């Protein structure tokens, strides 16, 4: 199938998922509420006289995003469980790669929206000046997000078929989430600490390498998770 058709099909799949989400808005509202609650938990589980918020901000940011994303990722394939919608999707004349890409794009936009709302809330609650670093910070977040969402989308196609889907996805995904999260958290703390950008390019390159490797790997492996 030509690449253009593949991409068009992927967008159709993504659009369908986003439309379902747009009409109900339950997942995004609960995800954002969850982000606010995690931020609250963080605020009340630290001693403000002992740890300054700027030191804590990168870890708060990445833990919050990691938890919110893990909870959100199951949604993509859970949508397809009812009425055996997945079978219908697989019977449709679109490639497996297009289905994966579509799910990935939908997940990325969904997680991206959570991040778009979550990061300003973090800045607000923890009094972190993010505006001067908005560009590079968005870059770090985008690179890290593509990495773990690509793996998470692949894994969620497998875990939704088990009884303990949410928990199992978290257990499987965390080891894969940690390297990008780690690099991203280190880069974030350098960035917010006002260090020059050249100090974080190494981590950005690692994140980019991780993204490229795992997006391609997931594209190759996805058919094995849905084919009988």
- Is residue 158 a contact residue for other proteins (CB under 8 A)? yes
Alpha-carbon Rg for the chain, nearest whole angstrom, is 18
178: contact with other proteins by CB under 8 A: yes
49 or 227: CB nearest other proteins:
227
| Smallest distance from other proteins to CB 105, Å | 20
Q: Which of 176, 161, 178 is nearest to 215 (CA)?
A: 176
Kindly indicate which of the ranges 5-13, 46-54, 86-94, 156-164 contains the residues binding other proteins, using the contact rule CB under 8 A: 156-164
Q: What is the dihedral of CA 145, 151, 155, 157, to 10 degrees?
A: 80
CA distances from 153 to 72, 106, 108, 187, 199 (A): 10, 10, 9, 25, 31
Task: State both tokens at 42.
Answer: 């963080």
Coil, strand or helix at 22: helix
- Rounded Cα distance between 58 and 35, Å, is 15
- Give me 97's structure tokens: 């790669």
> If binding is defined by CB under 8 A, does position 66 make contact with other proteins?
no
Closest approach of Cβ 150 to other proteins, in Å? Answer: 10
Contact between 151 and other proteins per CB under 8 A: yes
Give the binding range for other proteins (CB under 8 A) out of 34-42, 56-64, 133-141, 176-184: 176-184
Which stretches of the chain bind other proteins, using CB under 8 A? 151, 154-155, 158-159, 161-164, 168, 171-172, 174-176, 178-179, 182, 202, 206, 210, 213-214, 217, 221, 224-225, 227-228
């Amino acid at each position: 199938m030509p690449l253009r058709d593949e991409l068009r099909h992927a967008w159709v799949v993504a659009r369908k998922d986003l439309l379902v989400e747009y009409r109900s808005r339950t997942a995004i509202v609960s995800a954002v509420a969850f982000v606010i609650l995690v931020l609250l938990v963080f605020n009340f589980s630290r001693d403000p006289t002992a740890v300054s918020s700027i030191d804590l901000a990168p870890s708060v940011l990445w833990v919050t995003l990691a938890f919110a994303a893990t909870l959100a990722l199951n949604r993509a394939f859970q949508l397809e469980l009812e009425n055996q919608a997945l079978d219908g999707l697989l019977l449709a004349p679109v490639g497996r790669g297009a289905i994966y890409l579509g799910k990935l794009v939908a997940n990325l936009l969904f997680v991206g929206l959570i991040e778009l709302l979550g990061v300003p809330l973090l800045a607000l609650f923890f009094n972190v000046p993010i505006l001067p670093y908005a560009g590079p910070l968005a870059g770090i977040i985008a690179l890290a997000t593509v990495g773990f969402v690509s793996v998470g989308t692949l894994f969620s196609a497998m875990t939704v078929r088990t009884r303990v889907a949410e928990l199992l996805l978290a257990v499987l995904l965390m080891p894969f989430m940690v390297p990008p999260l780690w690099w991203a958290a280190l880069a974030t703390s350098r960035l917010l600490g006002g260090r020059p950008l050249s100090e974080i390019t190494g981590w950005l390159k690692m994140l980019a390498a991780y993204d490229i490797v795992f997006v391609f790997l997931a594209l190759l492996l996805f058919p094995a998770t849905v084919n009988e």
